[in-house]
């Protein structure tokens, strides 16, 4: 071949021109395929995103996340399929409900051999990366680059697992560092290809530990209490009252409220105090100095007032609620700042017009509603998850979409954006048609929670429509039915109300239909006979 090219130089010119045309054609094709930036946090309630217009919108605005909504769309009826960290991530990758992707509860191991949208995008020519929280027990597959936190990861001076199996400790705050690494990858990626980046934050997950620069950010604002802060759990499943995720009875003094044992002297606080101060223990001397300068005087004042009997019962709950919310919202503040850093990078590097930007979180979270601070239950605050998207030229600016969407829909959406067809066995549907005129869309969603009693939340399953929700608790053989229009806080089940019996039958039938459609496993057997 080389001898032919030497003898016939015109052939060399032809080959060079042909190759250059093909490369240019491929580059043109890739330019038309959008980049995808998936910004993902952990336990971020929609009530803590001001674009959703909740009770905290004026108290704790999120201007950078709101920017995505302002320049694109916010989906106001976005939900998860299983409200717990690892299963939600597995659902997003696979486009399938938990029972089908094999990751039903935290502690399972994600099977890396199964189909994922990341593998499909990588195979089709995308540069792919995931950076930050992973939480799936197996190493990422389908990514050209990854740096992930082991397990839950840490807020201060975190370790990141590397692709070569090593561990790299980094000085600083995890939200900032995750973004640093994401931006570094964007700088060094193969720029001849479209890219898909998953930038996944630990925050605002428990232990709700703020960046030191944000300590005190919400001390001077009045944080409204939810109407259901002192829920008595009446008129619903008896399992609610057995929960172990109440700000009142289960919020740890050191781990959650940041009141360490060595600060208390002779003051004896009511239980619990189980987990110590793992984040404080990771800090260097200068970090601890800043932490102590903020929390020290506040804790001293609190302990003095408690010892003097000034904080009893509801007032003590209110104190813990305010401490919780100030810390939680401060971690959100760092997430929002770092979302802004990514948006600014895309703008300044000429990437914004051909890049899809999505902000989401693995599920919602209770911010004192029903007296809680965790997730899991199918009640609205943890069942809902944020979904905001900007895609210039495709998503109309300022859209507030009302369709029922779920995290099973993300994988087929990413594929259609990239011009690919999803496998026929996915449970989700591409959201791309909703970015235009819409059309026929689902009328109900299926939910399944499989954890084995963590926080004393039992396994439960349900269906939600635009107005009603039915939940089944198989271990206690209880049904709960809610009319979300007349009872948006889900304070009274209507399953025995004579006026709702036809709706109960209808929703039971729909739940069975969805379970059949998704080939869900049988319900767990009750522990006792009815």
Final residue of a structural domain among 385, 411, 444:
444
Q: Decide if 29 is inside a domain.
A: no
% of residues, the chain, pLDDT over 70: 93
Q: Which long-range contacts (CB under 8 A, 24 or more apart) does 112-120 make?
A: 112/138, 112/139, 112/140, 112/141, 113/141, 115/423, 116/141, 116/142, 116/411, 117/93, 117/410, 117/411, 117/412, 117/414, 117/415, 118/93, 118/142, 118/143, 118/196, 118/198, 120/415, 120/420
Q: Decide if 400 is inside a domain.
A: yes
Domain that holds residue 204: 36-209+329-444
212-235 pLDDT, tens digit per residue, is 999 999 999 999 999 999 999 999
277-298 pLDDT, tens digit per residue, is 999 999 999 999 999 999 999 9
148-187 pLDDT, tens digit per residue, is 999 999 999 999 999 999 999 999 999 999 999 999 999 9
Q: Are residues 294 and 395 in the same domain?
A: no
Final residue of a structural domain among 444, 470, 497:
444
Which of 33-47, 239-253, 432-446, 483-497 has the weakest average pLDDT? 432-446
Whole-prediction pTM value? 0.93
φ, ψ at 132 (rounded to 5°): 115, -140
Q: Decide if 149 is inside a domain.
A: yes
Residue 405 has pLDDT above 80, yes or no: yes
Q: Are residues 433 and 475 in the same domain?
A: no
Residue 18 has pLDDT above 50, yes or no: no
Q: Which residues pair with 467 in a beta bridge?
A: none
Q: Are residues 43 and 115 in the same domain?
A: yes
Mean pLDDT of 38-63: 97
Residue 190 has pLDDT above 70, yes or no: yes
Q: Are residues 386 and 461 in the same domain?
A: no
Q: Are residues 345 and 199 in the same domain?
A: yes
Q: So what's the pLDDT on residue 31?
A: 52
Q: Give the integer Cα–Cα distance in Å for 39 and 41.
A: 7
341-386 pLDDT, tens digit per residue, is 999 999 999 999 999 999 999 999 999 999 999 999 999 999 999 9
Let me know if 407 is exposed, middle or buried by CB neighbors in 10 A (0-12, 13-18, 19+). buried
φ, ψ at 51 (rounded to 5°): -60, -25
Q: Are residues 316 and 374 in the same domain?
A: no
Q: Which residues pair with 357 in a beta bridge?
A: 37, 390
Do residues 209 and 331 touch, judged by C-beta distance below 8 A? yes
Q: Give the integer Cα–Cα distance in Å for 124 and 118.
A: 10
pLDDT mean across residues, the chain: 94
Q: Are residues 196 and 74 in the same domain?
A: yes
**pLDDT band for position 437 (cuts 50, 70, 90):** confident
**pLDDT band for position 529 (cuts 50, 70, 90):** very low
Q: Decide if 10 is inside a domain.
A: no
Q: Give the integer Cα–Cα distance in Å for 323 and 291.
A: 14
Q: Decide if 223 is inside a domain.
A: no
Neighbours of 471 (CB within 10 A): 27
Mean pLDDT of 6-23: 41
Q: Decide if 3 is inside a domain.
A: no
Q: Are residues 310 and 423 in the same domain?
A: no
Q: Which residues pair with 390 in a beta bridge?
A: 357
Residue 75 sits in a domain of what CATH number?
Answer: 3.40.720.10
Q: Decide if 136 is inside a domain.
A: yes
Question: Number of C-alpha atoms within 13 angstroms, CB side, residue 94?
Answer: 24
Residue 509 sits in a domain of what CATH number?
Answer: 3.30.1120.10
**pLDDT band for position 13 (cuts 50, 70, 90):** very low
% of residues, the chain, pLDDT over 90: 92
Mean pLDDT of 118-147: 98
CA dihedral of 522, 527, 529, 530, whole degrees rounded to 10: -80
Report the domain count for the chain. Answer: 3
Q: Are residues 254 and 205 in the same domain?
A: no
Residue 21 has pLDDT above 80, yes or no: no
Q: So what's the pLDDT on residue 528?
A: 58
**pLDDT band for position 439 (cuts 50, 70, 90):** confident
Q: Are residues 183 and 58 in the same domain?
A: yes
**pLDDT band for position 12 (cuts 50, 70, 90):** very low
Which has more pLDDT, 188 or 25? 188
Q: Are residues 306 and 333 in the same domain?
A: no
Final residue of a structural domain among 444, 462, 493:
444
Q: Are residues 370 and 465 in the same domain?
A: no
Q: Decide if 379 is inside a domain.
A: yes
Q: What share of the chain is helix, strand, coil (3-state, %, to 5)?
A: 40, 15, 45
**pLDDT band for position 75 (cuts 50, 70, 90):** very high
Angle, in degrees to the nearest 10, between helices 314-348 and 63-71 = 60
């Amino acid at each position: 071949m080389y001898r032919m090219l030497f003898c016939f130089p015109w052939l060399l010119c032809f080959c060079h021109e042909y190759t250059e045309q093909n490369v240019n054609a491929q580059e043109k094709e890739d330019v038309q395929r959008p980049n995808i930036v998936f910004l993902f946090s952990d336990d971020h309630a929609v009530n803590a995103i001001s674009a959703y217009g909740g009770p905290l919108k004026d108290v704790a605005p999120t201007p950078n996340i709101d920017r995505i909504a302002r320049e694109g769309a916010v989906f106001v009826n976005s939900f998860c399929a299983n409200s717990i960290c690892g299963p939600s991530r597995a659902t997003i990758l696979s486009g399938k409900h938990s029972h089908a992707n094999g990751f039903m509860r935290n502690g399972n191991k994600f099977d890396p051999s199964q189909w994922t949208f990341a593998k499909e995008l990588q195979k089709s020519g995308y540069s792919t990366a995931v950076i930050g929280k992973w939480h799936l027990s197996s190493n990422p597959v389908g990514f050209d680059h990854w740096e992930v936190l082991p397990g839950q990861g840490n807020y201060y001076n975190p370790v990141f697992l590397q692709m070569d199996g090593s561990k790299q400790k980094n000085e600083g705050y995890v939200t900032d560092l995750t973004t640093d690494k994401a931006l570094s990858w964007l700088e060094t990626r193969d720029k001849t290809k479209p890219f898909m980046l998953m930038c996944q934050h630990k925050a605002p997950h428990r232990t709700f530990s703020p960046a030191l620069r944000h300590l005190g950010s919400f001390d001077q604002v009045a944080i409204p209490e939810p109407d259901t802060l002192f829920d008595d759990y009446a008129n619903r499943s008896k399992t609610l009252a057995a929960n172990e995720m109440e700000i009142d009875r289960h919020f740890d003094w050191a781990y959650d409220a940041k009141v360490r044992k060595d600060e208390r002297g002779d003051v004896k606080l009511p239980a619990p105090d189980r987990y110590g101060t793992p984040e404080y223990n990771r800090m260097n001397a200068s970090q601890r100095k800043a932490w102590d300068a903020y929390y020290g005087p506040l804790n001293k004042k609190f302990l003095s007032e408690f010892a003097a009997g000034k904080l009893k019962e509801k007032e003590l709950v209110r104190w813990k609620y305010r401490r919780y919310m100030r810390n939680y919202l401060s971690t959100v503040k760092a997430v929002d700042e770092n979302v802004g850093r990514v948006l600014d990078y895309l703008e300044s590097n000429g990437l914004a017009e051909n890049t899809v930007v999505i902000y989401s979180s693995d599920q919602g979270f209770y911010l004192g509603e029903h007296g809680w601070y965790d997730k899991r239950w199918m009640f609205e605050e943890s069942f809902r998850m944020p979904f905001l998207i900007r895609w210039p030229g495709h998503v109309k600016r300022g859209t507030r979409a009302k369709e029922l969407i779920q995290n099973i829909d993300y994988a087929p959406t990413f594929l259609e954006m990239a011009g690919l067809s999803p496998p026929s066995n996915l449970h989700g549907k591409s959201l791309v048609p909703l970015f235009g005129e819409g059309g026929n869309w689902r009328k109900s969603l299926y939910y399944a929670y499989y954890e084995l009693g963590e926080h004393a939340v039992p396994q439960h399953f349900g269906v939600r429509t635009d107005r009603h929700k039915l939940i089944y608790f198989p271990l206690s053989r209880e049904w709960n039915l809610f009319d979300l229009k007349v009872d948006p806080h889900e304070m009274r089940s209507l399953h025995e109300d004579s006026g709702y019996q036809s709706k109960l039958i209808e929703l039971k039938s729909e739940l069975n239909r969805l379970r059949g459609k998704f080939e869900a496993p049988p319900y767990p057997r009750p522990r006792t006979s009815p």
